[in-house]
Amino acid sequence: ETGVTQTPRHLVMGMTNKKSLKCEQHLGHNAMYWYKQSAKKPLELMFVYNFKEQTENNSVPSRFSPECPNSSHLFLHLHTLQPEDSALYLCASSLYPGTNTEAFFGQGTRLTVV
Amino acid sequence: GENVEQHPSTLSVQEGDSAVIKCTYSDSASNYFPWYKQELGKRPQLIIDIRSNVGEKKDQRIAVTLNKTAKHFSLHITETQPEDSAVYFCAATASTGNQFYFGTGTSLTVIP
């Protein structure tokens, strides 16, 4: 285990549903990230939080809403998603963003929008 | 911002041969270059990294080289084994930045 835990591991939701993804780390890291990984596509950065403050929003549609209540927890709230949003959503953390330290990834949530 | 390009996108080698994956970056301020391996259905995991004050780093069968002048870095895997089959991502980040910039990934297949 790398210390980054994501729940749920799998999620199937309808386009009218509202659900949330959770990420938790107990590594003492101060930066947390959401990435989207679609089949045969590169990792797409969605959001960056540094000390609980959002420092990057990579032109993500408003149907994705992040929340970072503290440095250890990160949520991604989902509503009215589209089938093309089906992907693996990876959470990661690092000691600080942009410094010479490793990013640790969670195992991801496999999201299917039907 | 930083732009990281990675080649090739797919690579097949015979078991025992070497594999080389190359990445270029655009931001001269980038000073940390990690490589991640993602096996099928699993999370990306760091396998080796290099900092800008070093030109080469080796860990058993894996080595990474960095050319700061040319802004490119490469991953070298020698004596490849079937368990090396995975997707490999390079990344770059600067201490003044706020995120990791990933390459597009290389799907490596080692043929027994």
- Interchain pair A106, B45: CB under 8 A: no
The DSSP secondary structure of A81-113, one letter per residue, reads: --GGG-EEEEEEEESSTTSSSPPEE---EEEEE
CA A24 to centroid of chain Cα atoms: 10
Q: Is B46 on the interface with A (CB under 8 A)?
A: yes
Percent of chain A surpassing pLDDT 90:
71
> Using one digit for the tens of pLDDT, what is the confidence trace for B36-88?
999 998 999 999 999 988 899 999 999 999 999 999 999 999 999 999 999 99
| Matching residue, tokens 């659900």 | A19
**Residue numbers in B near A45 (CB within 8 A):** 99-100, 102
Instruction: Give the pLDDT confidence score for residue A1 in this predicted structure.
Output: 53
- Closest residue, chain B, to A91 (C-alpha): B43
Q: Which of A90, A100, A103 sits opposite B95 (nearest CB)?
A: A100
- Interchain pair A2, B45: CB under 8 A: yes
**Residue numbers in B near A99 (CB within 8 A):** 32, 93, 95
Cβ neighbours of A99 (radius 10 Å): 17
Helix (H/G/I), strand (E/B), else coil: B77:
strand
> Using one digit for the tens of pLDDT, what is the confidence trace for A22-76?
999 999 999 999 999 998 777 889 999 988 888 877 789 999 999 999 989 999 9
CA separation for the pair B41, A19 (Å, rounded) = 22
Distance from CA of B14 to the nearest CA of A (A): 23
